[in-house]
Amino acid sequence: MEDYCEHVIYEKNPEVGGTWYENQYPGVACDVPAHIYTFTWGPNPNWSHFYAEGPEIRQHIQNVAKEYDLTKNIVFNAQVLDATWLEEEGKWHVKVDVNGHVKEDKADVVINASGVLNNWRWPSIPGLKDFKGHLCHSAVWDHSYDYEDKKVAVIGNGSSAIQIVPKLQPVVKHMTTFIRSPTWISSNFAAQHASAEGGNFEYSTEQKKEFEDAEKLLAYRKKIEHDFNQLYRGLEYGTPEHEFFQEESRRIMTTRLNGSKELAEKLIPTWSFGCRRLSPGDGYLEALQAPNVTPIFNAAARITEDGIVDSDGTEHKVDAIICATGFDVSFAKQWTVTGRHGKTLQEQWKDNPQSYFSVCAKDFPNLFFVLGPNSPVGNGSLIPQMEWAGAYAVKWVEKMAQEQIHSIDPKQEAVDDFNVYTQEYLKRTVYTSHCRSWYKNNKIDGPVTAMWAGSPMHFKDLMSTQRGEDFDIKYCSPNRFRFFGNGTTWRDATNADLSYYLRKDGFST
């Protein structure tokens, strides 16, 4: 991209890492195998374990950024506050808070890669701020607080709580967990490549040495990635894979709950396996049965100065409350975005964020999203899928630069058709089952706002074509072919090889 445009990355944090910089709670880890939760172009022969913990992923991202000198275009401690499209200029005016000073920048194109799970939120429980003890959210862990021998409440039963509970349970005096809804605890992802029991394992020195051979490492990664890219089949109603996963999870949960009918009734969902983000949850069900843990299977109704009152009216006095209560996943909240005709993305996407192929939004020209609405956030490793969305945006940037394009904007009919197709397809998938999930903007019913309608390969194929016919394209000049210039090319001008297309081995384009 550097050949035809300048770019800058504004990052609100002081370093790279995103999710893995921010989420530092005990037990934070990736449940996708480390070798495929890796940049496709930046492999790491030295992953310590099959499934890596958060700090190791954060370090890996930093290593890659350093190795490829990627931080040179990043402004750290720079939070984007606002982006407004100016039609006459064909530019976005972007307001950024850099170290406490608001500056304005202009750009032909903005790529929003600010993360779908990057806007943590407090739960709306009355009295939350009255609590006199230690209050924290899983996404902003306070390392200065010592949980040892404390009475602690954990609110939530999602992937974050599932990792926190088994790590803190042995440390605390007593833990009360508030579980408002049941959840499926699955087997590990790509478990056929994990240890003999399907669990995590540490790579030996010999294995790491072998992975230094780029061919061997690639073959290993390809095997896991190939298998993992088939996960989507298990997330469609009625497939043999779905039946198998669901029954296998029921078996795993029943066994790990030691046959307790009461716990099984409360923890095993009646909605379909995979409706909300799956969690393998090593040690979670065991921790819930520990003598120092009291699971409460109803909502935290109210918070007092000393603890939490559950919806049966019982008060649970605690020293600390951990809210593992998730994120604002409305896709448009990180900063205000004003597009054509004064429209704001916040307003346009308030009830139902309808994107074009997850990467663009109507009336927000030259704005691209990585992991926008209805992107493949749940059925494969996210890293390649983010790369494909990024590469799609870069292709447009290149075309716009070369062909002197003022702006591109997806046509309304293309957005409509995409969303009709998407919601119709998603009816086949378990995401539409009756669970509350961030895939549905933390609702039980309603459109599935987060998921791609198809397999990872399906997304990849669609990202590899630009489909200009789906866009309104406005040029910088009244004649769209102004970029034809003086009728010669750089090859003519520089007297480069003017017969480069003659080849000994066949046809060349």
Ligand X SMILES: NC(=O)c1ccc[n+]([C@@H]2O[C@H](COP(=O)([O-])OP(=O)(O)OC[C@H]3O[C@@H](n4cnc5c(N)ncnc54)[C@H](OP(=O)(O)O)[C@@H]3O)[C@@H](O)[C@H]2O)c1
Ligand Y SMILES: Cc1cc2nc3c(=O)[nH]c(=O)nc-3n(C[C@H](O)[C@H](O)[C@H](O)COP(=O)(O)OP(=O)(O)OC[C@H]3O[C@@H](n4cnc5c(N)ncnc54)[C@H](O)[C@@H]3O)c2cc1C
Interface with ligand X (CB under 6 A): 29-31, 117, 123-125, 138, 155-161, 163, 178, 180-181, 277, 299-300, 324-327, 436, 438
For the CB of residue 363, give the shortest distance to ligand X in the complex, in Å. 29
- Applying CB under 6 A, the span of 111-119, 123-131, 298-306, 359-367 interacting with ligand Y comes to 111-119
Element (H, E) at 79: strand 78-86
For the CB of residue 508, give the shortest distance to ligand Y in the complex, in Å. 38
For the CB of residue 18, give the shortest distance to ligand X in the complex, in Å. 12
Q: Which listed option, ligand Y, ligand X, none, makes contact with residue 190 (CB within 5 to 8 Å by class)?
A: none
Is 404 a binding residue for ligand Y by CB under 6 A? The answer is no
- Number of CB atoms found within 10 A of residue 481's CB: 10
For the CB of residue 422, give the shortest distance to ligand X in the complex, in Å. 19
Q: Which listed option, ligand Y, ligand X, none, makes contact with residue 422 (CB within 5 to 8 Å by class)?
A: none
Q: Which of 36, 52, 80, 318 binds ligand Y (CB under 6 A)?
A: 80
Q: What does the buried/exposed string (b/e) look like for 244-257 if buried means 16 or more CB atoms within 10 Å of the residue's CB? A: ebbeebbebbbebb
Please, which residue, 107 or 473, has the CB nearer to ligand Y? 107
Q: Which residues contact 97 (CB under 8 A, 6 or more apart)?
A: 78, 79, 81
What does the CA dihedral 83, 68, 16, 400 come to, rounded to 10 degrees?
A: 10
Residue 398: CA count within 13 A, CB half-sphere: 10
Q: Which listed option, ligand Y, ligand X, none, makes contact with residue 80 (CB within 5 to 8 Å by class)?
A: ligand Y
Alpha-carbon distance 392 to 238, whole Å? 33
Smallest CA-to-CA distance from 172 within 146, 211, 192 is with 146
Q: Which listed option, ligand X, ligand Y, none, makes contact with residue 11 (CB within 5 to 8 Å by class)?
A: ligand Y
Question: Residue 459 in 3-state DSSP?
Answer: helix
Q: Which listed option, ligand X, ligand Y, none, makes contact with residue 449 (CB within 5 to 8 Å by class)?
A: none
Q: Which residue is nearest to ligand X (CB)?
A: 158
Is 279 a binding residue for ligand Y by CB under 6 A? The answer is no
For the CB of residue 163, give the shortest distance to ligand X in the complex, in Å. 6
- Identify the residue whose tokens are 């609405």: 373
For the CB of residue 352, give the shortest distance to ligand X in the complex, in Å. 19
Please, which residue, 109 or 263, has the CB nearer to ligand X? 263
Burial class from Cβ neighbours inside 10 Å (0-12, 13-18, 19+) for residue 389 reads buried
Q: Which listed option, ligand X, ligand Y, none, makes contact with residue 385 (CB within 5 to 8 Å by class)?
A: none
For the CB of residue 29, give the shortest distance to ligand X in the complex, in Å. 6
Is 433 a binding residue for ligand Y by CB under 6 A? The answer is no
Smallest CA-to-CA distance from 30 within 10, 44, 41 is with 44
Alpha-carbon distance 302 to 73, whole Å? 46
Is 370 a binding residue for ligand Y by CB under 6 A? The answer is yes
Q: Can you count the helices (H) and strands (E) in the chain? A: 13, 18
Q: Which of 38, 44, 118, 366 binds ligand Y (CB under 6 A)?
A: 118
- Which residues are registered as beta bridge partners of 322? 136, 154
What does the CA dihedral 42, 45, 50, 55 come to, rounded to 10 degrees?
A: -70
Alpha-carbon distance 354 to 158, whole Å? 26
Site string for ligand Y, 1-40 (x = CB under 6 A): ---------xxxx----xx---x----x-xxx--------
Q: Which of 38, 44, 114, 355 binds ligand Y (CB under 6 A)?
A: 114
Instruction: Give the interface with ligand Y as residue ranges (CB under 6 A).
Output: 10-13, 18-19, 23, 28, 30-32, 79-80, 113-115, 117-118, 160, 334-335, 370-371, 381-382, 386
